[in-house]
Amino acid sequence: MKKTKILILTGDYGQGHWQAAQALCDYIVQYGGEAEPIIINYMQKIHPYLHPISHYGFKQTVKRVPGVYNYFYRKLHGGYPVTSCLTQLNRLGVERLGEILDELQPEMVISTFSLAAEAVSLLKEMGRTTVPSVTVVTDYTAHYTWAHPHTDYYLVGSETVREELSRFGVPAKKVFVTGIPVRPVFYYEYKKQELLKKHGLRSDLPTVLVMGGGWGLMNSCDISTLAKVEKPTQFIIVCGDNKKLRRQVAKAFHETKHHVLITGMVNCIHEFMAVSDMVLTKPGGITVSEAVAMKVPMLLYKPILEQEKANARLLVQLGVALTAGTYHDMAIQLDKMLDNQELLCAMQKNADRARKGEEPFQTLNHLLKVHTMWKQERSQLVSSNIELMVQVNG
């Protein structure tokens, strides 16, 4: 039996786009029957020479001059010349994307990257394809570059995003609030003691999972602050591929009263969250959604980028997170959370309420509805064309 192909277009400008694509892929593989997901890195495939340059530039800008990133983020919010430049860049690669669609013949295209969403919309505007297109917004705020006239449906993380898209001209009937997709493993229940033993962790200390250092978004002052936390604590510090950070952590925690596990790139973040009392992280859309799914309280550190600030505002409003803007604030908030079990329990309950209706099945059900509606419309169109031909020939 021929499988239904679902193309997922994503990007690697930040980890969130790719992680959302992988989550959707996992949903489809586990619960989507005969559907076959195919993930493509849009910029890498369509603009192979520009991709490494733009990726490096993006990463360095976020690390070293986030104010410049925020400036362009705001400028892109509607009709500025830089927005038109991005659209023209997309037009240069739109034919290549059309060829990929011709080759794969997908019955749905999902975009977790805004440039890819625009490219699919341009193809539909040109009459090059009629395939249903779904855009998945990967933060708890919507940007002008996510909204495109020929996108059929949007899956978003909150009512706030639905309202923002409406201001950009997107009809409300096209937008479904499903939560930001995270891999199904973040909704499972785990046996904490077994995982503590598996990872060589202690059960007699409060555990803090520290994330966000892979791109150099934590410095030596931040690490020193953690090492000086008054309460004996167990830290799991995820450094990604940041070797400098690993050395700094090892040095700072040498001969302290804390127990520390230092890791690089791992595929078991869900297990680390399952054993943690709280997560200290940058407020990226996917990471915070994973924490909410696992009902883990959060301390959101240095929300600097505009979408991070929006994510943090919503999570604080939901009562699942606190924020810290400096390493001094971080120390105060860490002590406050570790010394207040009632606060942590309240945040866990709030997270449980926040994640209701955001299970993987919710997202998958909407995708299946989109696919079914498209097949019905296509069948009706074929029937109408046959009737017209019969009338003409008759």
333-380: pLDDT as tens digits: 999 999 999 999 999 999 999 887 666 667 777 777 777 777 777 666
Residues 6+ apart with CB under 8 A from 19: 182, 183, 286
Within the chain, all domains assigned CATH 3.40.50.2300 are found at 4-181+360-393
Residue 216 has pLDDT above 90, yes or no: no
Give the pLDDT score at 385: 47
When comparing pLDDT for 186 and 376, which is higher?
A: 186
Find out whether 285 and 157 touch, Cβ atoms under 8 Å: yes
**Pairing label, strands 108-111, 35-41:** unpaired
The DSSP-derived string for 306-340 is HHHHHHHHHHHHHTSEEEESSHHHHHHHHHHHHT-
Residue 82 has pLDDT above 90, yes or no: no
Give the pLDDT score at 32: 74
When comparing pLDDT for 394 and 9, which is higher?
A: 9
Q: What is the DSSP letter of 345?
A: H
Find out whether 215 and 291 touch, Cβ atoms under 8 Å: no
Residue 309 has pLDDT above 50, yes or no: yes
The arithmetic mean of pLDDT across residues 3-19, rounded, is 93
Closest CA to 355 of 268, 285, 274, 291: 291
- Average pLDDT of the chain, as a whole number: 89
Find out whether 45 and 103 touch, Cβ atoms under 8 Å: no
Q: What is the DSSP letter of 149?
A: T
Alpha carbon distances (Å) from 189 to 24, 112, 271, 295: 20, 27, 10, 11
> What pLDDT band is residue 37 in, cutting at 50, 70 and 90?
very high
In Å, how far from its chain's centre is CA 250?
30
Find out whether 150 and 121 touch, Cβ atoms under 8 Å: yes
Residue 386, both tokens? 């046959």
Residue 267 has pLDDT above 50, yes or no: yes
Residue 382 has pLDDT above 60, yes or no: no
pLDDT digits (tens, 9 = 90+) for 104-138: 999 999 999 999 999 999 999 999 999 999 999 99
- Phi, psi for 177 (deg, rounded to 5): -90, 105
The arithmetic mean of pLDDT across residues 185-197, rounded, is 96
Alpha carbon distances (Å) from 284 to 141, 166, 211, 295, 306: 11, 23, 10, 16, 11
Alpha carbon distances (Å) from 301 to 258, 331, 374: 21, 11, 43
What is the C-alpha separation between 382 and 376, in angstroms, rounded?
A: 10
Residue 251, both tokens? 């040095």
Residues 6+ apart with CB under 8 A from 54: 13, 43, 47
Give the pLDDT score at 359: 63
Within the chain, all domains assigned CATH 3.40.50.2000 are found at 186-354
Give the pLDDT score at 378: 67
- Phi, psi for 204 (deg, rounded to 5): -100, 5
Q: Taking the chain, what is the end-to-end CA distance rounded to the nearest angstrom?
A: 37
4-181+360-393 to CATH, choices 2.170.190.11, 3.40.50.2300, 3.30.70.100, 2.40.50.140:
3.40.50.2300
Q: Which CATH class is domain 186-354?
A: alpha beta
Residue 317 has pLDDT above 90, yes or no: yes
Residue 30, both tokens? 């586990």
Query: Percent of the chain, pLDDT > 70?
Result: 91
Residue 284, both tokens? 């990226």
Please give the model's pTM, rounded to 2 decimal places: 0.91
Residue 320 has pLDDT above 60, yes or no: yes
